[in-house]
Structure 1
Amino acid sequence: MSKQTTSKSKKAICILSGGMDSTLASYIAKKDGNEIIAVHFNYGQRTEKRELKAFRDICNDLEILNKYEIDIPFFTQIGASALTDETIDVPVNGVESGVPITYVPFRNGIFLSITAAIAEKEEASAMYIGVVQEDSSGYPDCTDEFIADITKAINQGTKETTKIEIKTPLVHLSKKQIVQHAKELNVPLEHTWSCYKESEKACGVCDSCRLRLNGFKLANAKDPIPYKV
């Protein structure tokens, strides 16, 4: 039996880390005419408190009242990622083959599964996630194939009346295009945070900072957040 969408108000759940990509994805969701429900995950990442501040600031910018702050402590227990294990250094040389050490095991799969439960409860029809293939080369949970498969699994594992679409509006964009699109939509990029290492001033040398800064450079724009380097 095929599932039918409900005729209720159009709701979308946005996975909002506080970074530039997820913030732009949330602004696109609003532009698409959705009532936004924001979800943020505290998972023991090095910049957890700074990312949470960014999330709250952006929710204020978007006037989002319905939001969830979810704690996932087990990522620090399993380690295996430079983002959640303090004994593993965050790479700063920009050269890394294979799956990067900043990959958190099945993070997006876990985020999407939890968000799906929230989407079912809230009777939302879409979930937005700001995955970017350029940003995540080597991350197995950022591909179109993965998103298609987990969408199928989510809809098989939820009620017949639940029909959820996972939207990835940035997946094939370059960082330059993301900066340009963000500026077109008046996204408050000064409230976003992308650095893997630091919370006061972005390090400027981790992979995330490098990609972000290069995007601004190619877009001929100035990044409004402070950097050490």
Structure 2
Amino acid sequence: MKTNVICSGGLDSVSLAHILARQGALARLTSFDYGQRHRKELDYAQACATRLCVPHHVIDMRAVGAALTGSALTDDIAVPDGHYAEDTMKITVVPNRNAIMLSIAYGISAAQGDDAVATAVHGGDHFIYPDCRPQFTQAFDAMQRAALDGYAQIALHTPFVHRSKADIVRDGARVDTPFAQTWSCYKGGAQHCGRCGTCVERREAFDLAGIPDPTPYEDPTFWKQAIASREAI
């Protein structure tokens, strides 16, 4: 099966790429420049494609991203600190981002003769990202089957949609994913900040998975405070 992986350069999508590469199913990576706060993650996606010897499509969506206003990932709005499950994290939602990206990835896969498009959405995303939930991925899969009926048969592969980020760390470790060569932090500094939602989630995932986290953080202990605060609610 030839699979096109939507790759942000983050831990989840890079792990998925390595898993599929080990299975002999990885055809290409597709990444998106939608005017996000920094391009560091795209560099990590390119490094992943080079490492796995597959084509890397980088789609320029900056004009589209400029119209998707109101998110801390695209506008001059401070990225909040804390756990992903907190209401403050809703400011990191980019409206309809996954639906737009998936549509483009499906078009690329139809043109290139792929069998599947894969995305690393997972159970931890369900709190605040509606386009990461099973209801969305199932409906999107059905919509794309209708959109390509008679032209191409492409499946939507979402192996983590009912699983946790800790599961992704465990699965990624089994195929020797170089976690240090992934980027999660929304702030895009010299190191992972250790305080934004995705940094907290990343550090917690390694802890729950029982696997050493190779990531240097500017604030390496904040994640415990964020989790404790969330559990106290």
Name the TM-score, length of structure 1 as normaliser: 0.89
Structure 1 runs not aligned, ≥5 long: 1-9
- What letter is aligned with 1:100? K
CA distance in 1, matches of 2:128, 2:82: 16
CA distance in 2, matches of 1:179, 1:111: 24
Q: SS of the counterpart of 2:143?
A: helix
* Structure 2 residue aligned with 1:147: 137
CA distance in 2, matches of 1:162, 1:123: 8
Q: CA deviation at 1:166?
A: 0.5
- What letter is aligned with 1:68? H
CA distance in 2, matches of 1:91, 1:99: 7
- Over 6 Å off, 4+ runs: none
Cα deviation, 1:73-114, whole Å, max 9, x if unaligned, reads 12123311111111x211103362387111110000000000
Q: SS of the counterpart of 1:70?
A: strand
* Structure 2 residue aligned with 1:93: 82
Cα 1:98–1:105 change in 2 (3 A) is same
* Structure 1 residue aligned with 2:49: 59
Cα RMSD (Å): 1.7
2:165 to 166, 175, 199: 175
1:71 to 52, 60, 71: 60
Q: SS of the counterpart of 1:100?
A: helix
Q: CA deviation at 1:15?
A: 0.2
- What letter is aligned with 2:168? I
CA distance in 1, matches of 2:179, 2:107: 29
Asked if 1 retains the 8 angstrom alpha-carbon contact of 2:5 and 2:26, the reply is no
* Structure 1 residue aligned with 2:123: 133
- 186-195 vs 90-99, greater mean Cα deviation: 90-99
* Structure 1 residue aligned with 2:184: 194
* Structure 2 residue aligned with 1:121: 111
* Structure 2 residue aligned with 1:18: 9
CA distance in 2, matches of 1:198, 1:67: 22
Cα deviation, 1:142-169, whole Å, max 9, x if unaligned, reads 1111111111111211250311110111
Q: SS of the counterpart of 2:207?
A: helix
Structure with the higher helix share, 1 or 2: 2
Cα 1:158–1:99 change in 2 (3 A) is farther
CA distance in 1, matches of 2:81, 2:110: 40
CA distance in 2, matches of 1:100, 1:148: 23
State how many pairs are aligned: 217
CA distance in 2, matches of 1:204, 1:52: 20
CA distance in 2, matches of 1:165, 1:189: 27
Identity, % of aligned positions? 35
Structure 2 runs not aligned, ≥5 long: 220-233
